[in-house]
Amino acid sequence: MSTKATAKSSTGELLYGAHPLIEMLKAKKRKLIAIYTTKQLPKSWDRIAPYLPKSVPNIQYVTREALDRMAGCSDHNGVVAWVSPFKYTSQIFHPSKKPFLLVLDSIQDVRNVGAILRSAYCTGVDGVVMCKTKSATLTPAVFKASAGLAEHLDIYQVASLKQAISELKAVGYNFYMAVLNGKDATQVEYKKPACLVIGNEAFGITPDIQKMGQPITIPQRTPDISYNASVAAGILLFLLANKTE
């Protein structure tokens, strides 16, 4: 692969940054194909090295400028990797095995998606549902923003969120919708199996989907403001993780 490779292909995709590479290696769900770094190894290498396989398949030494071009930014810690594609979960979740879910409804900012997935892992989310359209995909920037923790999550992609939520409700999940005019989220009695839905940064949860669960709202100073989507997700995930009966 040349340094002109795109972020994704049928055979693999790029990761950049120390944390995404380390967590990919720790998760052991994907194959490391090649690593690109500088001849004078970056400081991050000491953190990465303990997790590398005994026989690293392919290390290419390039300039930092080449790494910038590959990553599309300079925030790569001196390391870019080519790895096998991320594998999405093939079957929809069931409460007997995955009692705590997160649904992302049209989140479009890759940094928000990454930050939300980071919080999801930290709060013990068992599975994530994302739509194939109108949403940010799992780009290298998403894995970077998640500090690589997205590697450990079971993520299910669907063509229709409404249909997926209907199926999840049918098997017993209780849905909680993050909105601006719902019940005080700190006063809600959350019940397992639970699923939190976070909506689009500008428009919130799709109206048809919003009707399918309990609307909840984080208390805030005035009603004409709102938390960033990833911040709201982190707060609400913490509440559900610690107040669910």
Rg (CA), the chain: 19
pLDDT value of position 1: 41
pLDDT at 151 over 70: yes
pLDDT at 187 over 90: yes
pLDDT value of position 134: 84
Give the domain ranges of the chain: 13-83, 100-243
Please tell me the distance from the alpha carbon of residue 53 to that of residue 113, in angstroms, as a whole number. 29
Render pLDDT for 155-175 as a digit per residue (tens, 0 to 9).
999 999 999 999 999 999 999
Render pLDDT for 82-109 as a digit per residue (tens, 0 to 9).
999 999 999 999 999 999 999 999 999 9
* Matching residue, tokens 């689009």: 200
Domain 13-83 and domain 100-243, same fold? Reply is no
We find that the CATH architecture of domain 13-83 is 2-Layer Sandwich (3.30)
The CATH topology of domain 100-243 is Alpha/beta knot (3.40.1280)
Render pLDDT for 70-79 as a digit per residue (tens, 0 to 9).
999 999 999 9
Q: Across residues 48-61, what is the average pLDDT?
A: 89
**Planar angle of CA 125, 9, 162, nearest 5 degrees:** 40
Q: Max CA-CA distance within the chain?
A: 57
Strand order in the sheet with 32-37: 13-16, 79-83, 32-37, 59-61
Is this structure's pTM higher than 0.75? yes
